[in-house]
Amino acid sequence: MMRTNLVRSRLAAGESVVNAWLSIGSSYSAEGVGHSGVHSVTVDLQHGMFGFSEALHMMQAISATPAVPMVRVPSLDPAQIMHLLDAGAYGVICPMISTPEEAAALVSACRYPPHGSRSFGPSRGLLYGGADYVAHSNETVMAIPMIETAQAVERIDEILDVEGIDLLYLGPNDMAFAIEGHVRFPRPASEIAMARVLERAQAKGVPVGIFCADAKEAALRLEQGYALVTPGNDFAHLTRSISGAVRDLLDRDETAEKAPATAGHGY
């Protein structure tokens, strides 16, 4: 039987999911993160600093851990989505989905006929999922639109009605850009928009995930009802931890001018 998608089964069981996020193009760090206790690891091809080859190696490395390999794609490009599914992704997070048509196009790209338009060529999917991958991938692989535009918020009910949406994923920074016009805190209007999305999704039984700056925000989001949280990306964890160590070792005055560029809220 095809390998179970742990993210899907946990969400179905009402259990929360902790998801890691990779922007460093290394299969070694990917494997380490996969062993960190997270339920899933998302390989970010939109803002991550790598291309397909590294993503393949990272997904292979994640496949040697208990975590589920997922991807964020750069855009709603069906050929690229299919390529990453062929490479073994068990979930596709797609940015900037604003309309039900776009949501349906995402679902279609993730499903073989007759439920979608995915091209046959399962490649590594067969290796990760198993010999019956083609028969069962439609109910295993997850289609996950990112909700991060004003239009998406307005049309959230229509988007939620698209058959095959397995999870919504909120991008708070792009949402802030869209709703506030900037990414500075506080962001009252975009918080309200996100709360509305969460409420509507819950009403329709669709779980919602969200990118968080860190574990503290992630804990808050879980309390708010989000089902999946990403407590910051790998680069932020790495550089914050090292910067913190340096600060502990040096006088603050000395390091002030070299303050890490990455001390922000992540993305």
What is the closest distance, in whole angstroms, from the C-beta atom of residue 204 to its own copies in the complex? 26
What is the closest distance, in whole angstroms, from the C-beta atom of residue 143 to its own copies in the complex? 18
Residue 53: its H or E element: helix 52-62
How many degrees, rounded to 5, is the angle at CA 224 between CA 48 and CA 107?
50
Nearer residue to its own copies within complex by CB, 200 or 262:
262
Q: What are phi and psi of 48, to 5 degrees?
A: -70, 155
Judged by CB under 8 A, which stretch of 47-55, 158-166, 186-194, 200-208 contacts its own copies?
47-55
Among positions 50-69, residues that touch its own copies (CB under 8 A) are 50-54, 56-57, 60-61, 63-66
Q: Find the catalytic residue in 35, 47, 57, 265.
A: 47
What is the closest distance, in whole angstroms, from the C-beta atom of residue 203 to its own copies in the complex? 25
Please give the Cα distance from 72 to 14 (Å, whole number): 23
Question: 8, 83, 155, 187: which one contacts its own copies (CB under 8 A)?
Answer: 83
Q: Is residue 259 within the footprint of its own copies (CB under 8 A)?
A: yes
What is the closest distance, in whole angstroms, from the C-beta atom of residue 128 to its own copies in the complex? 7
At 197, list the tokens: 């999305």
Among positions 192-251, residues that touch its own copies (CB under 8 A) are 214-216, 218-219, 222, 229, 231-232, 234-235, 237-250
Nearest-10 crossing angle of helices 78-86, 52-62: 40
35 has catalytic annotation: no
For residue 258, give the 3-state DSSP assignment.
helix
47 within 8 A of 267, measured Cβ to Cβ = yes
Please give the Cα distance from 117 to 96 (Å, whole number): 20
Active site residues: 47
